[in-house]
Chains A and B, each alone.
Chain A
Amino acid sequence: MNRGKLAGAVLGASLVTVAALSACNAPLRAGIDTAPDGDGTRFTSVDASSNDASAAEALLCIAHECPAPFETCPDKSGLCTTDLSNDVEHCGACDVRCPAEAAGVDAFFICAEGRCQMICRENAGDCDHLVDDGCEVALDSDPANCGACGNACAPGEICWQGACGCPPGTSVCNGQCVRLSSDPQNCGACGNACDQAPASAVTWRCGEGVIPDGATVSCVNSRCQTICQGSRSDCNNDFCGDGCEVSIEDDAKNCGACGTKCTDDQICFDRKCLCDPGSTRCSFSCVDLQSDPKNCGACGNMCPGPEGSSGSAVCVMGRCSYQCAVGYGDCDGRLENGCEVDLTNDVRNCGACGAQCDVAGGQPCIGGKCLTGPCDAGVIN
C-alpha cells in the first residue's frame, strides 16, 4: 500500500475526529464518578493496544511519528500532545508563543492554522494594520472610522455607538446623543438640568416646592415636573396625598405595575411575580429542582465537583451527577479531580478509560486513537 496515501488517510481520520470533538458539546456520559472500563467513556472506536491494532488493521503497524499538526513539545507531558495549529504557546512550532494580551491595545491573540492572529475586542478596530499599536481605533465613537475602518461620517457629524449621527428623537448635547423630552440633565434643551432648574421652570403638581413622598423632579415631555421616582408608583391616584405609595419592585399587589397581583404562593421580586407554576422558588430565584445543579432536588443542594472545561456537576432528575465534556474521562472514579483524563491524547486512556496504547513502544494517542501507520521494514507489527 502506498505509504503516503495511507498516512494521509490516518491523518484525515484524526483530524475529522478532532474537528468533531471541537464542534460538539454533547455529553459524553452522565454519572458521578463513573469510570469505566471502556464502555461508558468511549467516544470513538478504539483500536488501543498493539494487539487490537494488529487485529483490526492487518496492514497497519504501530506508528511513532506525530502526524501534523501534532507535535511532542518539551513542556507538555505525553507524546504528540500539542496541537501546533491552535496552541498559543506553540503556534506552528514548539515554543513559538503568541504575544500575550497587552493592556491598552484592545486586542488579544489566538493561534489559528498555526499562525498567531490578533483579534480586536468589541468596538475596537485595527485600521492601520499594524500589530504594534494593536486595535487603535474606537469604532463606536471615531467619526473617521465609525462602525468600521474607513467609514467616515459627514463633517460635523458625531459617531454615536458605531453609527453616524444621532438616532431619531435624540439630539446632540456635548458630543452625546440625548433625548431632550425625558433626559433630566438636558430637559427641553441642552444643559437644562431639572435638579438645578429655577422653581419657575418646574411644573409643581402639588404646589411650588412640594415634592410628595417617593416623588422627585424629573423630565417629562421636555418639562421638569414632579413625578414618581424609580420603582415608586402612585397606584391609588392620590399623588398629592400619600405620594408614590407603592414600590412596584416588591409589592405583591402591584408587582411591576399597579394592579398586577401575585398569587398567594408567589412573592414580588424585581418587578416580577415569583415563581410560575412548574418552577420552584429558592430564595429569590425560580429554579427547576430536577435540573439545576445549584438546587438539585431541593433548594440549596449544590452538586459537588470541579467546574471546568473538562467536566461539570449536573443535576439529572433531581439527583446530582457529574458529566465529562466530550473528549475527557473520569478514569480514577474520583469526583474531586473531575474528568482528569484527556482521552484524545492519553496513551494510557486513549479514546476510553483503560484503553492503552503501546506505551513502551512509544505509540502516541492522536485524536483518541492509538497511532498506526503502514507497515514497513524495521517496524515490528
Chain B
Amino acid sequence: MSALCSARAALPLLASSALVSIVASCAAQGEAPLRPLVELDGSTDAPIVIPGPDAAALQLCTDGRWCAVASPVPAPYSFNGIWGSGPANVWIVGSPDIAIHWNGVDFSSARLGTKQTLFGIWGSGPTDVWAFSTGDVLWHHASGDLRRMEWMASHGDAGGESAWTSPVHGMWGRGAADVWAIGSANGGLGQATVWHCDGWNGGAPGWVETRTTPGAMPWDSEPSFNAIWGDPDGEVWVVGDGGKTRYSSGWKDGAATWVVVDSGTSLPLHALWGTGNEIWAAGAAGTVRRFARQPDGTVTTDDVAFPNRATIRALAGFASNDIWAGGSDGTLAHWDGTAWELVDIGVEDATSREIFALWASGPEDVWAVGRNVFLHKGSTLLPGTATP
C-alpha cells in the first residue's frame, strides 16, 4: 500500500486517477492490475500483428558503412526509441504504438493496443523492459521469452477525462530496482519533472518525485527535461529545455541531491551520453556541450563545434573518441576525438528525415532510428541491409 500511496502522490505524469483506481481496485481483489496486450503466439488476447512486407533476405553491410535496414513495418513510420540488452535482443518503438523486436535472426512487430505514441524504451535487462509514452501509460515487458511479444500496461482510460497527463521524455536506471523517469513540466505549478522508483512492482511502481533546483519553492516550476543518462556508479545526469543541466550522485535514502551545471546555452538540450569523466550533451541549432568532471569535484563545460545547425536528438558512443550523434535534416555525425564529421545517410530527401534515437552494443553494432530512418552499422546480418 505504501507503493500505491507514493504513486498517487508523487507522479503526476503517470498517476492519473484512472491509473490509481486500477491499481487500487486490483489490489483489493488480490489480482494483478495488468492485462497482456499483445502476444504474437496468440495464446491469450488476439494479437495485433502488423502486416509487413515479406521478410527480406539477410544481408551483410559493407564494413565500416551505414546501411539501410528493411523495416518490418511499411513507411511512413516514426521510430522514436531503441534499446537493447545485447546484439540479439533489441527493441524499437514508434508511432503510434509500434513495438519491434530483433532477436538476432529476424524482426517481429506488433501494436500495443493503444493509439498513443510510444516515445521511447529502456530496460535494465531482458526481463525488465519499459516503454513510455506521451500520455499516462507505461508498458512493461518481463517475460524474457523473446518469441512472445507480451507487454503489460498500467494506464488510464485512453481518451477519457482522466487521460490527461504530461509526457514521459526519457528513462534510465542502474538496475531493475533503481529506475528514473523524466518528463515535461507542462506549465503546471510546482510540478516535478524527475521521478524515481524501485522497480515495476507488479504494475504499481512506487514513484517518488525529486526536485532538481536547489532552493526552489514547492510551487516553482521545474525545468522540462528531455534526456537522462547515468554511469555504472549511479551518478545521473539530466538535460532539458533552456539548456538546463543537473547531475546527482544517485538515489540515496529515498531522495536525490542535485547539482546545477552551467551548460552555457539557453537552447534546449535533447541528448546525453557519457564515458569516464566526460558527459556529452547536445540539442537545438547544432549545440554540443562536453562536461568534464575535475579532480576537485567541479565540472567544466566545453562548447564543441558541430558542422551544422541541426537539432541533435540522440547521442551514443563507446569512448571519448568514438561518439555518434543524430538529429534533424537527416543529420548523422561522428566524433573521432578531434572533430564532428557528418555522415551521408545515403537516402533520398535526407533533409526531410530525422534521427530520434541511437543505440549500440558495440562499435560493430550501431543502430539509428527515426522518422523514416532505419539504419545499422556493423557486421550483423540484417534483413535487406544494403549499402546506400
Task: Point out the residues of chain B lying under 8 angstroms from A34, CB to CB.
Answer: 309-311, 328-329
**Could you tell me the distance between the alpha carbons of A319 and B115 in the complex, rounded to whole angstroms?**
13
A301 adjacent to B115 (CB under 8 Å): no
B164 adjacent to A299 (CB under 8 Å): yes
Task: Point out the residues of chain A lying under 8 angstroms from B356, CB to CB.
Answer: 319
B284 adjacent to A318 (CB under 8 Å): no
A333 adjacent to B311 (CB under 8 Å): yes
A29 adjacent to B95 (CB under 8 Å): no
**Could you tell me the distance between the alpha carbons of A86 and B351 in the complex, rounded to whole angstroms?**
34
**Could you tell me the distance between the alpha carbons of A283 and B162 in the complex, rounded to whole angstroms?**
9
**Could you tell me the distance between the alpha carbons of A354 and B307 in the complex, rounded to whole angstroms?**
13
Whether B285 sits at the interface, judged by CB under 8 Å, is yes
Q: Range of interface residues on chain B?
A: 35 or more
Task: Point out the residues of chain B lying under 8 angstroms from A317, CB to CB.
Answer: 76-78, 95-96, 117, 371
**Could you tell me the distance between the alpha carbons of A319 and B77 in the complex, rounded to whole angstroms?**
11
Contacts of B350-388 to chain A: CB distance below 8 A = 351-352, 354, 356, 371
Whether A40 sits at the interface, judged by CB under 8 Å, is yes
Whether B273 sits at the interface, judged by CB under 8 Å, is no
Whether A30 sits at the interface, judged by CB under 8 Å, is yes
Looking at B137, B159, B161, B268, the one whose CB has the most chain A CB atoms below 10 A away is: B159
Q: Given A40-B351, A282-B163: A297 and B116 within 8 A (CB)?
A: yes
B159 adjacent to A282 (CB under 8 Å): yes
Q: Which residue of B lies closest to A287 (CB)?
A: B159
Q: Which residue of B lies closest to A298 (CB)?
A: B135
Contacts of A1-41 to chain B: CB distance below 8 A = 29-37, 39-40
Contacts of A292-333 to chain B: CB distance below 8 A = 296-301, 316-319, 332-333
A318 adjacent to B95 (CB under 8 Å): yes
Whether B263 sits at the interface, judged by CB under 8 Å, is no
B309 adjacent to A301 (CB under 8 Å): no
B78 adjacent to A334 (CB under 8 Å): no
Q: 0/1 per residue, B99-136, Cβ < 8 Å to A?
A: 00000000000000001110100000000000001111
Whether A335 sits at the interface, judged by CB under 8 Å, is yes
A283 adjacent to B161 (CB under 8 Å): yes
Q: Given A36-B309, A280-B159: A297 and B285 within 8 A (CB)?
A: no
Whether B3 sits at the interface, judged by CB under 8 Å, is no
Whether A54 sits at the interface, judged by CB under 8 Å, is no
Task: Point out the residues of chain A lying under 8 angstroms from B352, CB to CB.
Answer: 29-30
Q: Which 5 A-B pairs have the closest CB atoms?
A: A298-B135, A333-B285, A297-B117, A318-B95, A318-B117
Complex A-B: 19 CB contacts under 8 Å: A29-B329, A29-B352, A33-B268, A36-B308, A37-B286, A39-B308, A280-B115, A282-B163, A290-B115, A297-B117, A299-B163, A300-B135, A317-B77, A317-B96, A318-B78, A319-B95, A334-B267, A335-B268, A335-B284
